[in-house]
Amino acid sequence: MAVNRVPVLKRCRSLGMEPHFLGINKTSTRQLRRSNRKLSEYGQQLREKQKAKFIYGVLEKPFRNYYAKAKKLEGMAGPNLIIMLETRLDNVMFRLGFARTRKEARQIVGHKHVLVNGRQVNIPSYLVKAGDTIEIKEKHKSSPRYRMILEATGGHLVPEWLDADAENLKGIVKELPKRDMIDIPVDEMLIVELYSK
């Protein structure tokens, strides 16, 4: 399996984004040395795609597949793409506050700790639907790991399209999010322009 081993803060600096979008509270004092050259149109489009891939932890081929599916759905391809990425199970776990980062959420799902509507799901890319109930398995709820996670994520705001019950490590997808409910710094229209060339 391919793993991105670039240091997170360095990658955030190069993409011009804050690490808190990844659930990381650190900030870097180092400045990225930039040349005075203006970024080309293609460079801007590529940067937006790299940002989206980096935030959600998706590699190129699955990302392209998401875009192909988003194009077939009704509505605009750009917002559809972001909504699909946002409704991935690993991202929903992160948004509910049951993981400190999306990488940790991906690991929790992969280790078979998660039930969706009472059934075990160990696929991080599983797309949740409105009305789905997501919870940690009963035997893992008392684990000190989740106590530490809840302490770390206690102050995080759960998005309005989700309903989290931190005490019981359970959450409900009230509705599918709309683009304006998603707070990531990506201009998805540039991604659409990049893929439509």
**Domains (ranges, CATH) in the chain?**
8-25+39-85+181-195 (1.10.1050.10), 88-176 (3.10.290.10)
Q: Do residues 148 and 154 touch, judged by C-beta distance below 8 A?
A: no
Question: What's the DSSP call for residue 181?
Answer: G
Residue 26 has a CB neighbour count (10 Å cut-off) of 9
Query: Tens digit of pLDDT for each residue in 15-58?
Result: 777 666 666 666 655 655 555 568 889 989 999 999 999 889 89
**pLDDT tens for the 197 residues of the chain, in order:** 466 676 766 777 777 776 666 666 666 556 555 555 688 899 899 999 999 998 898 999 999 999 999 999 998 999 999 999 999 999 999 999 999 988 899 999 999 999 999 999 999 999 999 999 999 999 998 999 999 988 888 767 889 999 999 889 999 999 999 999 998 889 999 999 999 87
In DSSP notation, 67-132 reads HHHHHHSSS-HHHHHHHHHHTBHHHHHHHHTSSSSHHHHHHHHHTT-EEETTEE---TTPBP-TT-
Sign of CA dihedral 93, 46, 80, 110: negative
The 3-state secondary structure of 139-164 reads HHHCCHHHHHHHHHHCCCCCCCCEEE
Number of helices (H), then strands (E), in the chain: 9, 5
- DSSP-based three-state secondary structure for 197: coil
